[in-house]
Amino acid sequence: MVSFVATPIGNLKDITLRALETLKAADVIFCEDTRHTLKLLNAYEIKKPLFSCHKFNEAQAAERIIEAAREGKDVAIVSDAGTPVVSDPGNVVAKALRAAGVEYTLIPGACAFVAALVLSALDADKFAFIGFLPDKTGEKKAVLDRYKDLDMTLAFHSAPQDVDKDVCAMFEVFGERKAVAVREITKLHEQSTPFLLSEGLEGEKRGEYVLIVEGAKERENPLNALSEREHILHYIKVGLDKKEALKRAAKDRGVSKSELYKFAIDIDTIK
229-238 residue pLDDT tens:
888 888 888 8
Say whether pLDDT at 270 is over 70. Answer: no
SS (H, E, C) 68-111: HHHCCCCEEEECCCECCCCCCCCHHHHHHHHHHCCCEEEECCCC
Write the burial class of residue 56 (CB in 10 Å: 0-12 exposed, 13-18 middle, 19+ buried): exposed
5-63 residue pLDDT tens:
999 999 999 999 999 999 999 999 999 999 999 999 999 999 999 999 999 999 999 99
Dihedrals φ, ψ of 7, to 5°? -120, 165
Write the burial class of residue 59 (CB in 10 Å: 0-12 exposed, 13-18 middle, 19+ buried): exposed
> What is the per-residue pLDDT for 222?
78
112-128 residue pLDDT tens:
999 999 999 999 999 99
> What is the per-residue pLDDT for 124?
95
152-208 residue pLDDT tens:
999 999 999 999 999 999 999 999 999 999 999 999 999 999 999 999 999 999 999
How many angstroms separate the CA atoms of 92 and 141, rounded? Answer: 26
> What is the per-residue pLDDT for 175?
92
How many angstroms separate the CA atoms of 229 and 269, rounded? Answer: 14
Cβ neighbors of 131 (< 8 A, separation 6 or more) are 86, 87, 156, 157
* Stated pTM of the model: 0.79
Dihedrals φ, ψ of 235, to 5°? -70, -30
> What is the per-residue pLDDT for 137?
94
Q: Decide: 180 and 115 in contact? Cβ < 8 Å.
A: no
The SS3 assignment for 192 reads strand
Domains of the chain by range and CATH?
2-110 (3.40.1010.10), 113-213 (3.30.950.10), 222-270 (no CATH)
Say whether pLDDT at 271 is over 60. Answer: no
